[in-house]
Chain A
Amino acid sequence: MADEDNPKEYRWETGYEKTWEAIKEDDDGFLQASVDDIVQRAKRKRQTLKHGSQKLGMMRHLYLLLDCSESMASQDLKPTRLICTLKLLEMFFDEFFDQNPISQIGIILMQNKRAERVSDLTGNCRKHTKVLGNLGKTNLSGEPSLQNGLEMALSSLKLLPSHASREILVIMGSLTTCDPGDITLTIDSLKSEGVRCSVIGLAAEVRVCRQLADQTNGIYNVILDDSHYKDLLFQQVNPPPAAVCLEASLIKMGFPHQPNNEGSEEPLTMCMCHVDSVDEGSKLTTGGYYCSQCFSKYCELPVECRVCGLTLVSAPHLARSYHHLFPAANYMEVDYSSQTNVCFSCQKPFGEGDKQVYNCPNCKKYFCLDCDIFVHETLHICPGCSTNPLTFQIAVTH
């Protein structure tokens, strides 16, 4: 995974689908330019499939079911399936909590026909990273039991309030599962509870996994190689469409701010988050965030107040996920016929090499392909719209 930024590794972008037919030599007899082009176009295509304004499950509660059976010791992923998985999961957790600020993840292991919960549902990313660190030393043994894992996750997800989006992500190395009963009954109850189950297979397609994902509106994929694995995992970062039975509600939250008492020394106080932690006990410190309701102190946000139960967040935490709901409008591909000399945003001069340019339906500005991708993948606002008094708020009011 050393050169992640190398665009050439993205063979999977087009899913190995007859890409060779699309590769043509360019005028100078080079192939690379056309390969890059395929990659770029695949990105664009995926982007245009996303639609804004549909209802999403933003308050996600995701159980990760991790296969820790013998099959995870296989070395078809380097160095082993398990180590590769743990590395990718670490990146995944960072990105997940970055994009889903008030969501929670729990981890369940499947081995020796049993399920073991190693981490309860929590929004604390560092706790998970710690758990992952210890998992590297797990003894991989026996067969997994998918049914036991699913049942354990379901029993916990069942208890959540009705506005919580419930999900299970299974990472399955084994081609078999050793279940105590009829797994189709488990799948039925997952379905009726509105739990969305997605599966990433590390070996080959397994019928019961396909059935599980199909029945619960999840996604099932089998990886091709490690970069494809990463892509599949990172698809789970985007919040899924809200389940039909998901109820909406207004949730009371606190937005703590640090009081600005200039001049006077800030008092030393204890925080609530480390109060019962064994390895790093609570110390007297200045600073921190005070619960807006009961004034208990916490070192970090977001957190659920241990005293009064209020969820404490900062406004930018919430703002990080607004782009899922208010994406920039998709640009239209038009043939270039000297509409403009330069790309509106990056100032790249358009020339003979540019057969297509991209036009924003709201502000009518023209952009290059690179900017189209950058705007829709990363920036999430149109530079043309946001510099024009008539259009800068368009995303908010649609």
Chain B
Amino acid sequence: MNIVLPEESQQDASSAEETSLLVIILDSNPGQKMLRESPHVLTHCVDSVIVFANTHLMQKVQNKLAIMACHSKSSQFIYPDQGKHGDIRQVDGQYEAFTAVEKITKKNLAKVLTSDGSAVITESLLAGAIAMALCYIARLQRTKPPGAKLNCRILVVTGSSCSTSQYMNYMNVFFTAQKQNVVIDVCALDQHLNLLQQGCDITNGLYLKVPQLQGLLQYMMWVFLPEPPIREKLVLPPPLKVDYRAACFCHRQLIDIGYVCSVCLSIFCKFSPICTTCHTVFKMPALPAVKPKKRKKM
């Protein structure tokens, strides 16, 4: 359903003005199953993400980076931030920019983690975080110097499960990303994510369920580091078939045959006389092959 023509190979002359922006969305919600069972896993993930992010920056001087934390009650950008960081100096001969990514990310993430410690919310609002990332990308596209080319992608790193309560939000961000030529990659750490997998398929991104968390960094380097145009030439995990069945609005179950409201296109698994979404009252289904006899006027 989504045919995107392969980028013509213009790597030679124009490559100087080409910039790659990578927005990483890190699910830091302490309510996700993986972190409830072993909270220390987050440190490992953050370290892997930072090394991965720096490798992206290292590939080309022009490459750009943003990191977001998707937390239980809000999502926010943790790198770059609005603050001034004159105090970050070289450590052990490490390039300052890399040190900055690590310091700023960890500092802001710590702020996020300590900000709300109350009730556990198990659902991570990833669709909203992607919506923010798309607004951010749209701004950079608007303000880039004329003639420059900015290739954008979003990488979601999460151990949450997929929730159908965000279905509409997910679909809106996927279609927007598709329109804006933003690739969505998903790195699932814990559970299979059917909805996000659909997003990868719609936007030509890659979906990977990491088999072993210890190897996270290696998997990320192998699968997600190459730019989308280069990926065609690499040996990557074979694409899985995506299940595009509908979930009914009434029970959130996947169905093969359903009933669709002609006014609002809501999907139901059984016939009901009234649409619960738009409150339209339906006429009863016509009985097949029995034509109503015309009543003669008395």
Q: Which residues of A contact B (CB under 8 A)?
A: 53, 55-56, 58-59, 102, 163, 242, 247-258, 260, 292-293, 301, 310, 314-323, 325-326, 341-349, 370-371, 374-375, 378-383, 385-389, 392-393, 395-396
A383 and B128 within 8 A (CB): yes
B244 and A58 within 8 A (CB): no
B262 and A381 within 8 A (CB): no
- Assuming A248-B275, A250-B262, A381-B173, is B125 touching A387 (CB within 8 A)? yes
Given A59-B262, A316-B244, 18 new contacts (CB under 8 A): A53-B278, A55-B263, A249-B282, A250-B272, A250-B275, A251-B262, A253-B258, A255-B255, A293-B257, A314-B244, A314-B246, A325-B265, A346-B139, A370-B142, A380-B176, A383-B131, A387-B132, A389-B123
- Assuming A315-B245, A381-B173, A383-B135, is B127 touching A250 (CB within 8 A)? no
Q: Please report the C-alpha to C-alpha distance between residue A371 and residue B176 in the assembled complex, in whole angstroms.
A: 13
**A301, A342, A347: which has the most chain B beta carbons within 10 Å?**
A347
Q: How far is the CB of A240 from the nearest CB of chain B, in Å?
A: 13
Question: Does B26 make an interface contact (CB < 8 A)?
Answer: no
B139 and A370 within 8 A (CB): yes
A386 and B169 within 8 A (CB): yes
Q: Please report the C-alpha to C-alpha distance between residue A349 and residue B84 in the assembled complex, in whole angstroms.
A: 14
B257 and A322 within 8 A (CB): no
22 A-B pairs with CB atoms under 8 Å apart are A58-B265, A59-B262, A248-B280, A250-B259, A250-B275, A253-B259, A257-B244, A293-B257, A310-B257, A314-B246, A322-B168, A323-B172, A342-B82, A345-B132, A349-B82, A370-B142, A375-B135, A379-B134, A381-B173, A386-B128, A387-B125, A388-B74
Question: Does B261 make an interface contact (CB < 8 A)?
Answer: yes
CB nearest to B273 among chain A residues: A250
The SS class assigned to the B binding surface is mixed
The SS class assigned to the A binding surface is loop
A248 and B263 within 8 A (CB): yes
Interfacial chain A residues near B271, Cβ < 8 Å: 250
B283 and A325 within 8 A (CB): no
B139 and A388 within 8 A (CB): no
Interfacial chain B residues near A323, Cβ < 8 Å: 172
B136 and A345 within 8 A (CB): yes
Interfacial chain A residues near B174, Cβ < 8 Å: 316
CB-contact partner of A388 in B73, B244, B275, B277, under 8 A: B73
B139 and A316 within 8 A (CB): no
CB nearest to B268 among chain A residues: A250
CB nearest to A99 among chain B residues: B175
Q: Please report the C-alpha to C-alpha distance between residue A189 and residue B80 in the assembled complex, in whole angstroms.
A: 63
CB nearest to A257 among chain B residues: B245
Interfacial chain A residues near B244, Cβ < 8 Å: 255, 257, 314-316
- Assuming A315-B244, A326-B168, is B258 touching A255 (CB within 8 A)? yes
Interfacial chain B residues near A310, Cβ < 8 Å: 257
Interfacial chain A residues near B207, Cβ < 8 Å: none
Question: Does B243 make an interface contact (CB < 8 A)?
Answer: yes
A320 and B262 within 8 A (CB): no
B260 and A258 within 8 A (CB): no
A380 and B262 within 8 A (CB): no
Q: How far is the CB of A90 from the nearest CB of chain B, in Å?
A: 16
Question: Does B236 make an interface contact (CB < 8 A)?
Answer: no
Q: How far is the CB of A124 from the nearest CB of chain B, in Å?
A: 14
B172 and A371 within 8 A (CB): no
CB-contact partner of B1 in A252, A316, A396, under 8 A: A316
Interfacial chain A residues near B74, Cβ < 8 Å: 387-388
Q: Please report the C-alpha to C-alpha distance between residue A344 and residue B82 in the assembled complex, in whole angstroms.
A: 12
Interfacial chain A residues near B261, Cβ < 8 Å: 248, 250
Question: Does B183 make an interface contact (CB < 8 A)?
Answer: no
Interfacial chain B residues near A293, Cβ < 8 Å: 257
A254 and B256 within 8 A (CB): yes
Question: Does B171 make an interface contact (CB < 8 A)?
Answer: yes
Among all A-B residue pairs, the 4 with the closest Cβ atoms: A386-B128, A387-B128, A345-B135, A315-B246
**B259, B265, B268, B271: which has the most chain A beta carbons within 10 Å?**
B265
Question: Does B202 make an interface contact (CB < 8 A)?
Answer: yes
Q: How far is the CB of A104 from the nearest CB of chain B, in Å?
A: 14
Question: Does B121 make an interface contact (CB < 8 A)?
Answer: yes
B173 and A379 within 8 A (CB): yes
Interfacial chain A residues near B280, Cβ < 8 Å: 55, 248
Interfacial chain A residues near B171, Cβ < 8 Å: 316, 319-320, 322
Find residues 88-141 in chain B having any chain A CB closer than 8 Å to their own CB.
Answer: 121, 123, 125, 127-129, 131-132, 134-136, 138-139
Question: Does B294 make an interface contact (CB < 8 A)?
Answer: no
